[in-house]
Amino acid sequence: MEFRGGGWMDADAAAETLALLEGAGLTYVGVDEPQGFADSVPPLTAVTAPLAMVRLHGRNADTWRTRTGAASDRFKYLYSDAELEEWAPRVRELAAQAETVHVLFNNNYEDWGMRNARRMAQILGVDRPRPQTRLQLD
């Protein structure tokens, strides 16, 4: 479950929220998003089910609350290697505790999410599958 209000995961509520999810067998989705807004969700990770998830939205505070134009403009953010490396220990810790870990990139402007996903896989030392054949379209 991905929360959209920071109150669910603030210092007073996080333990109770995570216990509720774990009791129900629901996956908590840790997020990376711009901080500093009243509803910002802190970048916490936790394993509450066999599947652990992280969703990286980018850190573009200027467009985070913008609801006009293309949706991809809102998530126009290319993570630096240093920012991805901040997440690597958290992802490794999730992998040590969960059966499966999914890291999703929602910075869907052009190919930026795919570029960041490839780079994160390299940082984590994860081999990505290669297609065995290519489809030729004429």
Residue 4 has pLDDT above 70, yes or no: yes
pLDDT score recorded for residue 64: 80
Q: Which residues pair with 54 in a beta bridge?
A: 30, 103
Helical (H) or strand (E) element with 94:
helix 81-97
pLDDT score recorded for residue 134: 66
What mean pLDDT do residues 70-75 have? 80
Domain ranges of the chain: 6-124
What mean pLDDT do residues 15-29 have? 97
pLDDT score recorded for residue 132: 65
pLDDT tier, 70 (very low <50, low <70, confident <90, very high otherwise): confident
Question: Which CATH number among 3.20.20.410, 1.10.357.10, 3.30.1280.10, 1.10.150.50 corresponds to the domain 6-124?
Answer: 3.20.20.410
Residue 68 or 48, more confident:
48
**CA dist 11 → 6, 17, 41, 60, 78 (Å):** 10, 11, 11, 24, 29
Helical (H) or strand (E) element with 84:
helix 81-97
Residue 68 has pLDDT above 80, yes or no: no
What mean pLDDT do residues 119-124 have? 96
Mean pLDDT for the chain overall:
91
Residue 129 has pLDDT above 70, yes or no: no
